[in-house]
Structure 1
Amino acid sequence: MQSRTPVSRTGRPRSATADAAILAATRDALIELGWSKLTLGDVATRAGVAKTTLYRRWPGKNELVVDAVAVLFDELEMPDRGSLAADIEGVVLQFAAILVRPDTKSGLMAVVAESTRDDALRERIRASIVDRQKRLVLEGRSRAQRRGELPPETDPEEAARTVDLIFDMVAGAVVHRTLVSAEPVGPEWAEAFTRVLLLGLRGDGSQ
């Protein structure tokens, strides 16, 4: 008697269209209702999906809202503008343009505020937004090394620390400028910021 090989069941595949509709509905609800009044049931209604469809994808509001915000930052690209300085200026302008959008602003401010009393939410923000967007630093550094603008790294641990530091400096400055100070980030500001980032306060390489 031949043995039968079990058939693998992976379940119903996720719909990218449904996911996009749910995440967009989440951002719309945040703008209109704010964090405290947002419910998964309301999001499902806005997205035109069953509650079970939403709950299969996101077990709670924290996960849903972080993903709704994170996908906006996935639009960021490290442009190739011919030099490291110009590349940084380009991504800074992209980043600022995303931050001032009402859906980004309301979503990001909401999850950051809530994360001050929720360690699990803070970890999800770090994994889904911060760590995911460090790809931009890695790509920009690799391209600058190929151009001969930056030396190759010899110490992997030091290289990882540098990536973290650069990301924190860029993200911190742009978020503060746009969301805390509510000041514009235009080409002149991006150029001045990049100059300080690359050359330091002295600007002449002296210690």
Structure 2
Amino acid sequence: MQTRTPAPRATGRPRSAAADAAILAATREALVEVGWSKLTLGDVATRAGVAKTTLYRRWSGKNELVVDAVAELFDELELPDRGTLAADIEGVVLQFAAILARPEAKSGLMAVVAEATRDEALRERIRESIVERQKRLVLEGRARAQSRGELPPETDPTESARTVDLIFDMVAGAVVHRTLVSAEPADEEWARNFARILSLGLAHSAH
């Protein structure tokens, strides 16, 4: 119980931030070397050079740890400004596919999604750590397209939020299915065709 008091966390915050970074990096390293099934919190703690208690104070199990380790990879995504909505979508799709091709992202994401089918708390963590965080790309891309005059502004907040959710689902669903389910390449030609169809649909639905 004493480890949950405010004072220890407050005085150790800078050190904990460094420990968290080391733990997440070690998790990705373990995913590459041994895969999700053989990954253990003890091994991760050893790789990160931290005590097991340090790890357990932050993560209750390896599923939550892997979600956060993979989420950091998706934080690397950036929306390039290529001049048009279709070209911007193509650019972010290619980045997304490249991340999913990395073994730590592929094995980690597939494993936690499978585990989440019977774990509502884990599903919520995936939504918060990955899905909600990456909707920033949709918001940025839509605002940029509106400023260019490619899409009209949306005045209804409810409808706007619904559109953001739908765009994210279409992009994420298509890329994940293409790369991890169908195991087909999400190369430049595929990304260009997908982006063209999606941008045309968005422009049409706005009128």
User: TM-score under structure 2 normalisation?
Assistant: 0.88
CA deviation string 1:37-90 (max 9, x = no partner): 322111101111111221222232222111011000000001111111111110
2:21 paired with 1:11: no
Alpha carbons 2:85, 2:199 under 8 Å: kept: no
Q: CA deviation at 1:183?
A: 1.0
Q: How does 1:88-103 map to 2 (within 5 A)?
A: 88-103=89-104
The 5 Å alignment of 1:98-177 reads: 98-177=99-178
Partner of 1:38: 39
- Tell me whether 50-59 or 91-100 shows the greater mean CA deviation: 50-59
Q: Is the Cα contact below 8 Å between 2:101 and 2:179 reproduced in 1? A: yes
* Distance verdict in 2 for CA 1:111–1:86, change over 3 Å: same
Alignment partner of 1:66 is 2:67: yes
Q: Hey, what's the Cα distance between the residues in 1 that align with 2:87 and 2:46?
A: 44
Q: Give the residue type in structure 1 aligned to 2:13.
A: P
Contact map agreement 1:34 1:110 (CA 8 A) in 2: no
Pairing of 1:158-197 with structure 2 (within 5 A) = 158-197=159-198
Q: Is the 8 A contact 1:92 1:190 kept in 2?
A: yes
Corresponding letter in the other structure for 1:27: R
Q: Distance in 2 between matches of 1:11 and 1:18?
A: 14
Alignment RMSD: 2.0
Give the Cα separation in 1 of the matches to 2:14 and 2:104.
Answer: 24
Structure index of larger Rg = 1
Cα 1:29–1:17 change in 2 (3 A) is same
What one-letter code is carried by the residue in structure 1 that aligns with 2:99?
Answer: I
Deviation at 1:126, TM superposition (A): 0.7
* Distance in 2, Cα, partners of 1:189 & 1:63: 33
How far residue 204 of structure 1 moved from its aligned partner, in angstroms, is 8.1
CA distances 1:145-169 after superposition (whole Å, capped 9, x unpaired): 1111111102110110010000000
Greater helix share, structure number = 2
Q: Would the aligned equivalents of 1:23 and 1:64 in 2 still touch at CA under 8 Å?
A: yes
Letter of the 2:118 partner, please give it.
Answer: R
Deviation digits for residues 101-157 of structure 1 (CA, Å, limit 9, x no counterpart): 011001101101111111110110011101110000000001111111111102110
Count of equivalent residues: 197
Counterpart of 2:92, as a letter, is V
Distance across 1 between alignment mates of 2:190 and 2:32: 28
AA matched with 2:63: N
Preserved CA contact (<8 Å) 1:115 1:122: yes
Length-normalised TM-score, structure 1? 0.88
| 1:3 counterpart residue number | none
| Unaligned stretches of 5+ residues in structure 2 | 1-5
